[in-house]
Every structure is written in C-alpha cells, then in structure tokens.
Amino acid sequence: MSRFYYYLILINMAANIIASVPVILLNHHKDGAVSSMLISIVVGIILVIVYTRFFNSFPGMTLPELLKKTTVKWFYQPFVFFLAVIWFIAGLITLITFTFLLIRFLTPQMPIIQISLTIILSVIFGCLMKTERVLYTVELILLITIPLILYIFFKAYSSDNLQWDFVKEAALYVNQMPNFNAFSASFYLFLGSANLFLFNRFFTEKQNFGWKQIIIIAFISITTLFTTYFIPIGFNGFENINELIYPWIATSDSLRMEFFIIERVLFVFLLFYLGIAFLSILVHWHVSMEFLKFVFKLDNIKYKENIIGKFFPIPFFIGISLFCVRQLNEYELFRYTTYFYNVLVFIFPVMVVLFFFIKRRMKYAK
C-alpha cells in the first residue's frame, strides 16, 4: 500500500489520543471500557479491510463519482451533502478541543475567538488545495512531528513514574460487559480509512492490500488504543482517573527531559500535537469542501475564468466554528462528541451494504 494510505489512518488515531476519546474511555473504566476496546479492534479492522478493498476495486474514483454512476440524483446529492456535514463536524470537534487546550495550558490570556480564528485561517485555505498537495502537506508535517511524539511516548513507557500495577488493575476489568459509549469512542479511531471516500482519487493504481498490510494496521491500532487508555492510568492511578478532564495532559506533565532546552514535556507535547490537530482538521475539512463542491457544482461558478465557487463554503465554516467555540464549554463538548461517535457507529457499518450495491451496479455502468 502507498504510504499516504497509512497517513490517513494514522492521523485519525493520533489526533484523538489526547482529545475526547480517552476522556470517554476513562469515564467507563469500571464498566466495560476494556472489553469495548477489544470488540472495537475486531470490528474496526474488519471495517478497514472492507473499505480498503472496496475502493481498491475502483482506483482513482471517489465515492461521489461512484454514487453518480450507480444511483439516482435524489439519493446521491443529499447523501453526499450529509457526508460533508459529518466530515465538517469531525474537524470542528478537533478544532474546539485544541482551542480549549491552548487557552487552558498555553495562552490563558488570549481571547478564545482569536485563538480559534488563528487555527481556522491557517487550516481553511489549505483545504482548498488539490488533494495531492494536501497529502504532501500531511507527509511533511508528519515527518517532523511523529518522531518527536514517539520519543515522548518512549519516555512515558520507560519512566519510573509509570506504575504497571495500576495498568494490571485496569486490565482486570476486562470481564465487565461492554459499554456502548466506550465502544463508539474506540471505534472512531478506525474511521481514518473512510477518508478514502475522497482521497481514493489519489490512488490511481490498484494497491497491494494483503495480510501484511492488515497486520501493520492491527499493530498500530492496538498500540494506539493501549497507549490512549492504559498509560494515563499507569501515571495517575485507577480509582479517580475519570475525574481528569485531560488525562493525557496530566500524564505528559509528569514527564521531564533533563537534557533538552525545555524541561517540561507538557509544552513540547502540546506544540507538536497542535501539528497533528492541524492535519486532522485539514484532512476532514478538505473532504467536506470537496463533497460540497460536488453537490453544489461549485467549480462551475466562475468570474472572468476564475473559479470563485470553491470559496463559498468558507464563511459558513468560519461562522459555525466561531459560534460553537463561543457557545460550548468542555463538558458540553465531550457530551455532544459522545453523541456524534454513537451515531457514526450506525452509519459507517451500514455503508457496507451501499458498497455491495455499488459494486453490483458498476458491472453494468458505462
């Protein structure tokens, strides 16, 4: 498989390590978080395999193009618009989460609108780039940030403050019945493959996707989930871990780099993770904008041979984002995010039926 395919999966997993997913999982640390994660690994990997093999059957084609060839207009246009809304909300959740993180830990005196607007403007015009340029941007930032973040995780695993007894105590709750909220939060980490709905246009040749690639994805997902859930418990204890708003921030603040310019890992961790958040929003909103361009045929709106239609979604993206940043607090954000994840659990598996339908119709499509 192309390395860019792994980037799409990795970004979705990495961006949620310190966002809402660990908070939701740790809230259910005594009532089914571990068993929910195990089930999500099985279901999530099956979903990744099905999605990847489906789009591998149609190199270079996006989901809207396939829908246009195989379904009627009254179905595919509202459906693609619905997908655009989902991808916009996914990016919006990351945006609001990191805005709250910045104002709480790095820039407490700065107005929240100014922080969020800075992130939005740095992302939104990147979303208008061509898909291949978005992927090259993703690769460049990942090459800079991922090694340093992996080094921080290595520091966490090798730290004397990591108490494996707490981890073992948490693992003993594997016999609890799975919790739906915990399952949906874990399942969300696997939805990076859904970005193939649009980014499949980049993969114009059939990719090699066999057991080796599946094992790599399984290894990455298991490692990510284990790190997301068990490492904060190992540093902060098991009993009251659900009272932390940002468990990974408390964890990173327990680490020190004695021979680095900045000793507290927290500040380095936040800055590098801001890069991952930037990529996550960039990918989600790029997909959302491309879906909107397809639904409303924005590329056909021109002024003196210049396409101006692609700029039309920008005011809506900025306006809705700033409104939500002002209206929500952290607890409401986590609650609504939980609802969002729960809805996705029903939507994305059901799409497998749609894929089966498309595959049959494509045999007769021109």
Q: Give the HSE-up count for residue 280: Cα atoms under 13 Å, Cβ half-sphere.
A: 29
How far is 101 from 96, CA to CA, in rounded Å?
9
* 307: three-class secondary structure by DSSP: strand
> Residue 259: its pLDDT value, please?
61
pLDDT digit string, tens, across residues 151-160: 888 888 888 8
> Residue 260: its pLDDT value, please?
62
Closest C-alpha among 136, 137, 99, 130 to residue 274: 99
> Residue 142: its pLDDT value, please?
85
Residue 303's H or E segment, with its range, is strand 302-303
Amino acid making up residue 97:
T
125-129, 167-171, 257-261, 335-339: least confident range: 257-261
Please check whether residue 14 is in contact with residue 224, taking contact to mean a CB–CB distance below 8 angstroms: yes
What percentage of the chain has pLDDT greater than the value 70?
A: 97
Judged against a pLDDT cut of 80, whether residue 19 lies above it is answered with no
pLDDT digit string, tens, across residues 302-324: 887 778 888 888 899 999 999 99
Residue 244 main-chain phi, psi, to 5 deg: -80, 130
Judged against a pLDDT cut of 70, whether residue 194 lies above it is answered with yes
> Residue 47: its pLDDT value, please?
92
Q: For the residues 107-121, what does the mean pLDDT come to?
A: 86
Closest C-alpha among 17, 18, 20 to residue 335: 20
Please check whether residue 180 is in contact with residue 339, taking contact to mean a CB–CB distance below 8 angstroms: no
Closest C-alpha among 44, 337, 45 to residue 181: 337
Closest C-alpha among 210, 13, 203, 5 to residue 94: 13
Judged against a pLDDT cut of 80, whether residue 256 lies above it is answered with no
Residues in the chain: 366
Closest C-alpha among 37, 12, 49 to residue 281: 12
> Residue 331: its pLDDT value, please?
85
How far is 183 from 37, CA to CA, in rounded Å?
6
Closest C-alpha among 264, 221, 235, 236 to residue 42: 221
- In this structure, what is the dihedral angle of CA atoms 217, 223, 229, 231, given to the nearest 10 degrees? -160
How far is 36 from 28, CA to CA, in rounded Å?
10
> Residue 41: its pLDDT value, please?
92
Q: For the residues 225-252, what does the mean pLDDT come to?
A: 82
Between CA 142 and CA 45, with CA 269 as vertex, the angle to 5 degrees is: 55
pLDDT digit string, tens, across residues 60-96: 899 999 998 888 888 889 999 999 999 999 999 999 9
Q: For the residues 125-133, what does the mean pLDDT come to?
A: 85
CA 267 centroid distance within chain:
22
Closest C-alpha among 196, 192, 186, 188 to residue 52: 196
Read off the tokens for 43: 């279901």
> Residue 263: its pLDDT value, please?
67
Give 261's pLDDT tier (boundaries 50, 70, 90).
Answer: low
What lies within 8 Å, CB to CB, of 329 at 6+ separation is: none
Q: Report which of residues 261 and 137 the model is more confident about.
A: 137
> Residue 366: its pLDDT value, please?
59
Give me the residue label for tokens 């809705």. Answer: 320
How far is 160 from 142, CA to CA, in rounded Å?
29
pLDDT digit string, tens, across residues 22-67: 888 888 888 888 999 999 999 999 999 999 999 998 888 999 999 9
Judged against a pLDDT cut of 70, whether residue 258 lies above it is answered with no
Read off the tokens for 125: 């015009």
Read off the tokens for 46: 């099956």
* 151: three-class secondary structure by DSSP: helix
What lies within 8 Å, CB to CB, of 326 at 6+ separation is: 112, 113
User: Hey, which bits of 110-170 come out as E strands?
Assistant: none
